Structure 1
């Protein structure tokens, strides 16, 4: 399950992939105290982050590692 949330703590530590190397257009991830994961677009911080359960995040990461979300072509 994932939802958009505006009520996240202001002091979250956000991470982005090293592959972004400051080029912009990056997704950022923050790990919440309750075990859920927040995901946001660093180019539009006015848009609320998606927050998902640890299980949903783990399934996404597993699929990404296996290439299930690779762009066709």
Structure 2
């Protein structure tokens, strides 16, 4: 398996679905990382994050580091 091989379907946040908003979509990669794409422009490219990078992002979200 290749590191950046996408192994799950892309998912959009449930909050953006209920509000009718476009957002980003996330899928898991073969190495346990994540692939991220723009839900409004699915063919516009992907960003890939290693498992450690994704875990650090999630920890920051939980800690409120990105709150407005």
- Whose RCO is larger (CA < 8 A, sep 6+)? 1
* Aligned length in residues: 64
Q: What TM-score do you get using the length of structure 1 for normalisation?
A: 0.74
Q: What TM-score do you get using the length of structure 2 for normalisation?
A: 0.78
**Which one of 37, 40, 52 corresponds to residue 43 of structure 1?**
40
**Partners of 1:31 and 1:12 in 2: how far apart?**
5
2:49 maps to what in 1?
52
CA contact (8 A) 1:24 1:43 kept: no
More helix by share: 2
Secondary structure at the aligned position of 2:45 is classed as coil
Closer, same or farther: CA 16–30 of 1 in aligned 2, 3 Å: same
Cα RMSD (Å) of the superposition? 2.0
2:17 maps to what in 1?
21
Residue ranges of structure 1 left out of the alignment (5+ in a row): 1-6
User: After TM superposition, where is structure 1 displaced by more than 4 Å over at least 4 residues in a row?
Assistant: none
Residue ranges of structure 2 left out of the alignment (5+ in a row): none
